[in-house]
Amino acid sequence: MIDVRRVSRVYRPAADLEVHALRDVSLRIGRGELVAIMGSSGSGKSTLMHILGCLDAPTAGRYLLDGIDVADAHEDDLSDLRNRKIGFVFQAFNLVPRTSALSNVELPLAYAGVPRAERRRRAEAALGAVGMAKRLDHLPSELSGGQQQRVAVARAIVTDPALVLADEPTGNLDSHTTEEVLRIFDELHEQGRTIVLITHEDEVAAHAGRVIRLGDGQVLSDSAHPPVTATAGERAA
pLDDT of 234 reads 44
Q: Per residue in 177-214, is it b (16+ CB within 10 Å) or e — as a string?
A: bbbbbbbbbbebbeeebbbbbbbbeeebbebbbbbbbb
CB atoms within 10 A of CB 68: 16
Strand boundaries in the chain, DSSP class E: 2-14, 17-29, 34-38, 60-65, 68-69, 86-90, 163-167, 194-199, 210-215, 218-224
Digit-coded pLDDT (tens) for 95-146: 999 999 999 999 999 988 999 999 999 999 999 999 999 999 999 999 999 9
Q: Where are the beta strands (DSSP E) in 127-178?
A: 163-167
> pLDDT tens digits, residue range 200-229?
888 889 989 999 999 999 999 999 877 766
CB 197 within 8 A of CB 37: yes
Asked whether the predicted pLDDT for residue 186 surpasses 70, the reply is yes
**Under CATH, which architecture does the 30-61+73-224 domain have?**
3-Layer(aba) Sandwich (3.40)
Give pLDDT tens digits for 144-170.
Answer: 999 999 999 999 999 999 999 999 998
**Type of residue numbered 193:** R
Q: Is residue 190 predicted with pLDDT exceeding 60?
A: yes
Give me the half-sphere count of Cα atoms (radius 13 Å) on the Cβ side of residue 97: 0
